[in-house]
Amino acid sequence: MASADVKAQDPRIAGISSAIRVIPDFPKPGIMFQDITTLLLDTKAFRDTIDLFVERYKDKNISVVAGIEARGFIFGPPIALAIGAKFVPMRKPKKLPGEVISEEYSLEYGKDVMEMHVGAVQAGERALIVDDLVATGGTLSAAIRLLERVGVHVVECACVIELPELKGRERLGEKPLFVLVS
Amino acid sequence: MDSEETRGYRAFLKQSVWCLTSQYQVSFSFFFLFFCFVFSSWSFFFFQIWWAAGIMFQDITTLLLDHKAFKDTVDIFVDRYRDMGISVVAGIEARGFVFGPSIALAIGAKFVPLRKPNKLPGEVISEAYVLEYGTDRLEMHVGAIEPGERALVIDDLVATGGTLSAAVRLLERMGAEVVECACVVGLPEGQRRLDGKPLYILVEPRLSVNY
């Protein structure tokens, strides 16, 4: 798919991949945590990450970049600013003031809720959803549902990292998913 | 010797005095209540001003929906910090993450997230700070910065300055020199320093609703 093409062809991917740090047994035993904070310390790799997304989306008429709290807030705004889109934060409950709509989603154990401001987006707008990593796809799916409930067309979901063994791509169904590192 | 006339006169006096004092009491009560009302409104007004940034929530999400205004915000910070030799931009979770990375990318600095407890994996240092009720902690990765680096701290808003102070302490513990703290929204004129560090603000909190 697209991510494999990018991985094979673009020389910037190697630098991005090697800048990501893997921390074993965080947040609990057995989990290999993909830590993007080391990527943010590497100015060239961070710049390349944003550039790769901007190059892909700048001519797709995207007017909304939705970023998922909190690491989606790191990558989403630079992309939004570069492509001329607005940035919409998708947040945990009770963080956004004023009127919100919310969507429940499953975690490994239990549920959580994601919220978005009413009126942040208009029906018919074209949106990109950004997060640092896709695992099961639960969070991205909730974000897609939130945006589609208000009539927005979600063009694609974009993440720096994918964990393919957790089958997030399947959970997103026909919604395209673009990642830099698998 | 109390003649009837004297008794009548005394009764009249008593009655008059009672009428006068009760009127006085009414007037006094009235003025007392009026004074209380004025004092409490005055106190409430000043209390509102004092807590302006807290009670009248300054919502930056609408700024992020205005592409030109958002870009201008980042550009103003970039223009200010571009030539200051800053190699680290530290952003405070979570709204500092919205502004910090774009500034870091534009000035060629690294971005360091300062987070709530237990979010950062690996080795961290942490710093406590005071909330209205209780305390919270801010964490930073060990090894994110080298001693001697020049740092900028970013958040969306400064109210009491507790969080920013904790951020400054974290960076200084790792040997960084904190050049300035920068926020989009801050306190009115006069509050331009934070624990001896310069504090740069774009706008003051608004006290009226406009949406």
User: What sign has the CA pseudo-torsion B139, B92, A73, A58?
Assistant: negative
Across B163-179, average pLDDT: 96
Query: Residue A9: its pLDDT value, please?
Result: 72
Contacts of B211 in chain A (CB under 8 A): 98
Q: Which of A27, A86, A95 sits opposite B64 (nearest CB)?
A: A86
E strand spans, A25-81: 32-35, 64-68
Cα(B43)–Cα(A169) distance, rounded to whole angstroms? 58
Q: Same domain, yes or no, for B137 and B71?
A: yes
CB contact under 8 A, A87 and B70: yes
Pair (B124, B189) in one structural domain: yes
The boundaries of the domain holding residue B36 are: 1-54
In a domain, B208, yes or no: no
Residues B108 and B199 in one domain: yes
Q: Is there a single domain that holds both residue B85 and residue B163?
A: yes
Query: Looking at the structure, do residues B198 and B164 belong to the same domain, yes or no?
Result: yes
Statement: residue A92 has pLDDT above 80: yes
Residues B135 and B46 grouped into a single domain: no
Strands (E), chain A: 21-24, 32-35, 64-68, 86-90, 100-106, 111-117, 126-134, 153-162, 177-181
Least confident window among A23-32, A70-79, B34-43, B49-58: B49-58
Q: Is residue B105 part of a domain?
A: yes
Tell me, what's the pLDDT at A159? 98
Closest residue of B to A71, CA-based?
A: B97
* ipTM score assigned to the predicted complex: 0.94
How many Cα neighbours within 13 Å face the side chain of B121? 18
Is B86 found in the same domain as B45? no
Per the CB < 8 Å rule, is A97 touching B57?
yes
- Give the pTM: 0.84
* pLDDT of the residue at B35: 79
Inter-chain CB pairs, A–B, below 8 Å: 99
List residues of B whose CB lies inside 8 A of any A CB: 57, 59, 61, 64-67, 70-71, 74, 93-95, 97-99, 101-102, 104-105, 108-113, 115, 118-122, 141, 144, 211
Domain assignment of residue B187, yes or no: yes
For residues A39 and A19, give the distance between their C-alpha atoms in angstroms, rounded to a whole number.
Answer: 5
Does B209 fall in a domain? Answer: no
Domain count, chain B: 2
Confidence of residue B177 (pLDDT cuts 50, 70, 90): very high
Confirm or reject contact between A120 and chain B (CB < 8 A). Answer: yes
Quick one: what percent of chain B has pLDDT higher than 90? 58
Do B66 and B7 reside in the same domain of the chain?
no
Report helix, strand or coil for B85.
Answer: coil
**B160 and B91 assigned to the same domain:** yes
Same domain for B15 and B111: no
Instruction: Judge if B93 and B130 occupy the same domain.
Output: yes
Last residue of a domain, one of B54, B72, B99: B54
CA-nearest residue to B105 within chain A is: A47
